[in-house]
Amino acid sequence: MPYRLHIVVAAITLGSMVAFSVRGRGIFRLFCTLNGLIVGWAVAFALGVVPEKELAHIAQVPWVALPDPSFPFYSFEFPLIPRS
């Protein structure tokens, strides 16, 4: 099974989310999903699941950027209208 570490990371991530949701108090319970994702990333880094190429890509991506306004477009096609 080549993806055994991935399953371990997924199980730890899900388990931490459930644990924060059930056992957490206050802000930890409120942000159980975010806390679980942080735990999952930490475990993935520790076990070496995240490849070096991904780490380099994450380091090069800008932290803050404006969205590209030319991407969203709307079109209407007449063949999509149902005929009776």
Q: Is 9 inside a domain boundary?
A: yes
Q: From first to last of its 84 residues, what are the pLDDT tens digits of the chain?
A: 578 999 999 999 999 999 999 999 999 899 999 999 999 999 999 998 988 888 888 888 888 988 777 767 777 777 777 876
Domain that holds residue 33: 4-50
Structural domain includes residue 20: yes
Indicate whether 11 belongs to any domain: yes
**79 within a domain of the structure (yes/no):** no
Does residue 76 belong to any structural domain of this protein? no
- Asked if the structure places residue 39 within a domain, the reply is yes
Domain count, the chain: 1
pTM above 0.85, yes or no: no
**What would the 3-class secondary structure string for 3-48 be?**
CHHHHHHHHHHHHHHHHHHHHCCCHHHHCHHHHHHHHHHHHHHHHC
